[in-house]
Structure 1
């Protein structure tokens, strides 16, 4: 992709991202039942747009990322340098709580690691959990290494790997 194509794509992605954010705001004003029905699928679509399309584009063309999106867009930290043995959990957090939290994000079907981590960041903040992207990424790799979850691809690259609950 050349720069001109990247600019054109970026413009359209920003419009799509803003439209989805406005739709989530509108959904938040609906009744509880409608919120439950519509916000989950829209949220997953938004995470997919951001992690699978926008982040890779802005990794290749970082100067195209508008400053207004810096706080909104999840920019993945590298996972290659963090092993679970190097992770220090904050006071009050336990490995069991992190495992339970991660398992609640997984499904019996394949999901991109980037999507799982993106959902994890948002839910962790919503629930007031102290779990960071790097903690969750390192722990997912550990769970895979020990056979507690299934994974395929390169777990050091969240956009190039998938995870799921064991059958």
Structure 2
């Protein structure tokens, strides 16, 4: 499995993407948890096709951007987007389910990123060394997060 973190808004400051594979994600995810950059938050409930009077087969191959979709399908896609874009009202960091779990096009909001960076920046040197020691690419990841905080956050694809 792999994850592409993609800035919501383009940046002229460097790459607009950061890539993880299964090997590189685990130590980053663990370091972020140890530094309280991620927070345990329950994943929102995904809409079910049946909630909209549909079957999964009815929507499996449809294009969300098609303007001629039936109303029930448009409502299903809107509910699906709300789940992907949901954020706690006052996030304490990045919800842990958005990092290193699925790559369901989660939106990690600028506020979630700023809170994660505040946790990182406020950690004492020893805590940082213990959590991050030997994590490949950590400084690049932090740089990406700092850019994402100012460019609409990022999507986890």
Task: State the TM bucket, normalised to the shorter chain.
Answer: under 0.3
Q: Would you tell me which structure has more helix in proportion to its own residues?
A: 1
TM-score by length of 2: 0.26
Q: Would you tell me which structure has more strand in proportion to its own residues?
A: 2
TM-score by length of 1: 0.25
Q: More relative contact order in 1 or in 2 (CA 8 Å, sep 6+)? A: 2
